[in-house]
């Protein structure tokens, strides 16, 4: 790794002093001066670091991504993926989509903080597949709900597909989902669905057909409905947040949710198995508690005919 020139380190120190003095205009000027010389300054709990700028644009956070919510749909379908580590899984997931999805389906990748070198993997995929893969990069990682909402806001497709890196297509799984959404009473269609079990203490696999909630492994949603019912912003971790959002969609009258048998396999679900257990369990519980506070006892949202 190339060490930064001493002059750039001096600029970074000046920027740190400007930030401490809350002179953000000067801080931004110094950041831009450093960037013009091919380096990026990043704030850390201990101060700052300098790194050579990558060959792609990196925005400070998802809040700096474009908001195209008001634009009409100009694309049929977008598959949206969060890149938060495990670049080999990212490549396998994207290549499978490109191999099996209709050619008018576009994959949009959000590099959420360049975890484990995902920024380079995202850029390589976008470079190798122009027109089929689009890239976005942010420096500060966002939680699941905020990042997913940012992806949705910048989308211009009629159908927005949430997909997890552990989901690998083995055939055209997207055409059946798109066909299901031709029914205007259907707001979302996906690979796996669940119903709330008796007592609201757990979720049970529902099988194909109408379901109470869809899981985010592969979840296609009508964009116009999704924009009217935002994803749960407080959900920092994915687990239970997809179920919470499903119930929010149904509560708002957006439409029915249906699960389907599809040519899909699941690889190692690293978002669950390889996350910090304490963080995973804490955030999952927070989301589930929030879900219960809002929906427990809402028998009008249950599907009783199981």
Tens of pLDDT, residue by residue over 93-142, are: 999 999 999 999 999 999 999 999 999 999 999 999 999 999 999 988 99
Per-residue confidence (pLDDT) for residue 1, from 0 to 100 = 56
Structure tokens at 20: 């401490």
Per-residue confidence (pLDDT) for residue 109, from 0 to 100 = 98
Distance CA 129, CA 287 (A): 36
Per-residue confidence (pLDDT) for residue 18, from 0 to 100 = 93
pLDDT lower than 50: segments of the chain: none
Per domain, the residue ranges of the chain are 6-52, 66-301
Question: 94 Cβ partners below 8 Å, 6+ apart?
Answer: 81, 107, 109, 125, 129, 133
> What is the longest distance spanned by two Cα atoms in the chain?
71
Provide DSSP, the chain. Answer: -PPPPHHHHHHHHHHHHHHHTT-HHHHHHHHHHHHHTTEEEEEETTEEEEEEPPSS--BSSGGGS---TTSPP-EEEEEEEEE-S-HHHHHHHHHHHHHHS-TTEEEEEEEES-GGGHHHHHHHHHHHSTTTEEEEEESS---HHHHHHHHHHH--EEEEEEE-TTEEESS--HHHHHHHTTSTTEEEEES-EEEEPGGGS-EEE--SEEESEE-TTEEEEEHHHHHHS---TT--SSTTHHHHHHHHHHHTT--EEEE---SEEE---HHHHTS-HHHHHHHHHHHHHHHHHHHTT-GGGS----
Q: How far is CA 62 from CA 165, 239, 282, in A?
A: 19, 20, 24
Tens of pLDDT, residue by residue over 218-227, are: 999 999 999 9
Contact (Cβ atoms closer than 8 angstroms) between residue 271 and residue 167: no
Question: 75 Cβ partners below 8 Å, 6+ apart?
Answer: 104, 106, 156, 157, 158
Structure tokens at 68: 């195209």
| Percent of the chain surpassing pLDDT 90 | 84
Per-residue confidence (pLDDT) for residue 46, from 0 to 100 = 83
Cα 133 versus chain centre, distance: 15
Assign domain 66-301 to a CATH class.
Answer: alpha beta
Contact (Cβ atoms closer than 8 angstroms) between residue 160 and residue 94: no
Contact (Cβ atoms closer than 8 angstroms) between residue 34 and residue 40: yes
């Amino acid at each position: 790794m190339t060490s930064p020139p001493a002059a750039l380190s001096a600029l970074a120190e000046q920027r740190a002093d400007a930030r401490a003095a809350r002179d953000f205009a000067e801080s931004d000027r110094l950041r831009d001066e450093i960037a013009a010389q091919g380096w990026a300054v990043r704030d850390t709990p201990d101060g700052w670091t300098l790194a050579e700028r990558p060959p792609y644009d990196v925005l400070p956070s998802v809040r700096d991504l474009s908001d195209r919510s008001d634009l009409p749909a100009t694309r049929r379908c977008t598959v949206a993926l969060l890149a938060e580590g495990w670049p080999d899984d990212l490549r396998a997931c994207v290549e499978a989509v490109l191999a099996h999805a209709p050619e008018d389906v576009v994959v949009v990748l959000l590099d959420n903080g360049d975890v484990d070198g995902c920024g380079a993997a995202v850029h390589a995929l976008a470079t190798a597949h122009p027109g089929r893969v689009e890239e976005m990069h942010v420096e500060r990682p966002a939680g699941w709900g905020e990042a997913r909402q940012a992806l949705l806001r910048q989308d211009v497709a009629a159908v927005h597909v949430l997909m997890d890196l552990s989901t690998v297509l083995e055939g055209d799984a997207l055409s059946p989902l798109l066909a299901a959404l031709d029914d205007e009473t259907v707001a979302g269609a996906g690979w796996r669905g669940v119903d709330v079990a008796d007592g609201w203490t757990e979720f049970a696999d529902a099988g194909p057909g109408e379901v109470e909630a869809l899981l985010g492994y592969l979840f296609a949603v009508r964009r116009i409905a999704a924009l009217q019912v935002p994803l749960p912003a407080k959900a920092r971790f994915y687990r239970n947040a997809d179920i919470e959002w499903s119930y929010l969609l149904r509560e708002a009258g957006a439409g029915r949710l249906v699960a389907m048998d599809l040519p899909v396999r699941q690889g190692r679900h690293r978002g669950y198995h390889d996350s910090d257990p304490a963080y995973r369990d804490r955030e999952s519980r927070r989301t589930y508690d929030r879900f219960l506070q809002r929906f427990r006892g809402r028998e009008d949202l249950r599907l009783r005919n199981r």
